Amino acid sequence: MDYNPPNDPLVILHDDAEVLAIDKPSGLLSVPGKGAHLSDCLLGRVQKVFPQALLVHRLDRDTSGVMIFSLTPHAQRFMSMEFEKRQAKKSYIARVWGHLTPKTGTVDLPIAVDWPNRPLQKIDHESGRPAVTDWRVLRHEEQSSRVRLMPKTGRSHQLRLHMLTLGHPVLGDPFYADGPALRFPRLMLHSEELRIRHPGGGPMLRIRAKAPF
């Protein structure tokens, strides 16, 4: 698959002495891939403007939305621990194929790497790591549903795979959708909101980026 990342300027959602939040565009790697042709990434672009920026978490290449960076080693340790302990609260917007029912639900299915087909993931009840996603249908569209997804864990491809197991793949997903569900200009998955405790104390940080679809 060719890598042609967008050249959008950085969209800064939050910036203080310790925390930086960016609205990541779809199609841009969070960190460098293997090989010079995959070197362009959000971390690299951020570090050109904020040389002290450090990685805290990642989003899939084709997912857009809120991505947070630390600006001090202390902030990186503090916020990384929040993700590790599942204290950071994440909310995504997705458009999925078909009419998802009921209106709310939870997927609790363990995920493991599908080694022969990397980077694909698979449901694996024997060796998979726990993965839990809550969902809420916002509205049904003509051939799809607009949903809010609230992952309780942070496995690779978790939201995409969990929606697939329900029979409702995310529109435009190059890995897990096929047929008419694939015929969209981008992956219809967006990190809409992140709530996390500020490493400097005080109230929870609530950072939002409106879905572009």
Q: Catalytic residue positions?
A: 60
Task: Of 190, 192, 26, give the one whose Cα is nearest residue 94.
Answer: 190
Here the tokens at position 51 are: 């040389």
Can the peptide bond before residue 199 be classed as cis, meaning omega within 30 degrees of 0? Answer: no
> What one-character-per-residue DSSP string does 11-54 give?
-EEEE-SSEEEEEEPTT-BSS--SSGGG--BHHHHHHHH-TT-E
Pairing of strands 64-70, 189-197: parallel
